[in-house]
């Protein structure tokens, strides 16, 4: 069934896949962007200019949507609290607009594990891990119908392979996945509503 989706990070490397696949499935998409020229005019795609960290910018265009998908990611040291700040703004705007459903992309490094390679990665990506954890705390404490997706390292450009999921844990062998597969999972989740208020580990087949 077609839905009306509000997408944060729509021009990013994962967000572009989400937008393309959502439109191909017949959904209507509103993309919150800072530069509208990055969103090509297509049927059922609307650009809304704004900052994802500002609740007023989100609330101004969010009413009437069925769900929010956040594919945001840090691009510089200046984005150290981007995910946390955007999650707070998103939840505030959702409350004002009466929108109940959201999916957010986090990261698989938040799953516990003793593998020394994982521990090294957590140290190397400490800023990203801390921001993702702060975002998750806000989302999990809310009363909305959330799903948190935790993928492993995301890859660009490869062919879609399908995906595997595990609720509350990282699927075995989950070292990397294609962004296109993550986008497919997010949209399947919107359509099925199978994992409300759950943390889901996801990886490519």
Task: In whole angstroms, give the CA distance from residue 52 to residue 90.
Answer: 7
Q: Which two tokens stand for residue 55?
A: 């609740």
Q: pLDDT value at position 115?
A: 81
For residues 69 and 18, the answer to whether their CB atoms sit within 8 Å is yes
Q: pLDDT value at position 76?
A: 64
H helix or E strand, kind and range, residue 180: helix 179-192
3 state SS of 120: helix
Q: What is the mean pLDDT of each run of 10 residues along the chain (205 residues)?
A: 93 95 97 85 92 96 97 77 97 98 97 82 87 98 98 90 95 90 97 96 94
For residues 101 and 144, the answer to whether their CB atoms sit within 8 Å is yes
Q: Which of 101, 108, 116 is nearest to 164 (CA)?
A: 108
Q: Domains of the chain, with CATH numbers?
A: 4-204 (3.40.50.720)
Q: pLDDT value at position 41?
A: 78
Q: Which residues contact 161 (CB under 8 A, 6 or more apart)?
A: 178, 181, 204, 205
Q: pLDDT value at position 48?
A: 94
Task: In whole angstroms, give the CA distance from residue 58 to residue 99.
Answer: 11
Give the single-character DSSP code of 119. Answer: H
Reported pTM = 0.94
Q: pLDDT value at position 159?
A: 81
Task: Provide the β-strand partners of residue 69.
Answer: 7, 103
Give the single-character DSSP code of 100. Answer: -
Q: pLDDT value at position 78?
A: 65
């Amino acid at each position: 069934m077609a839905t009306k989706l509000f997408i944060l990070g729509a021009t990013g490397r994962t967000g572009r896949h989400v937008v393309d696949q959502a439109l191909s499935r017949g959904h209507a998409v509103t993309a919150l962007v800072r530069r509208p020229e990055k969103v090509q005019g297509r049927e059922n795609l609307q650009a809304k200019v704004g900052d994802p960290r500002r609740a007023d910018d989100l609330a101004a265009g969010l009413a009437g949507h069925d769900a929010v998908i956040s594919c945001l990611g840090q691009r510089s040291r200046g984005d150290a609290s981007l995910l946390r700040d955007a999650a707070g703004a998103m939840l505030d705007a959702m409350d004002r607009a009466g929108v109940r459903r959201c999916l957010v992309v986090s990261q698989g490094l938040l799953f516990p594990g003793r593998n020394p390679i994982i521990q090294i990665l957590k140290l190397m990506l400490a800023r990203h891990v801390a921001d993702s954890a702060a975002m998750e705390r806000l989302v999990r404490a809310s009363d909305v119908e959330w799903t948190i997706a935790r993928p492993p390292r995301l890859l660009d450009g490869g062919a879609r392979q399908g995906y595997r999921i595990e609720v509350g844990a990282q699927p075995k062998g989950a070292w990397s996945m294609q962004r296109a597969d993550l986008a497919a999972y997010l949209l399947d989740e919107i359509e099925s509503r199978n994992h409300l208020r759950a943390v889901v580990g996801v990886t490519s087949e």
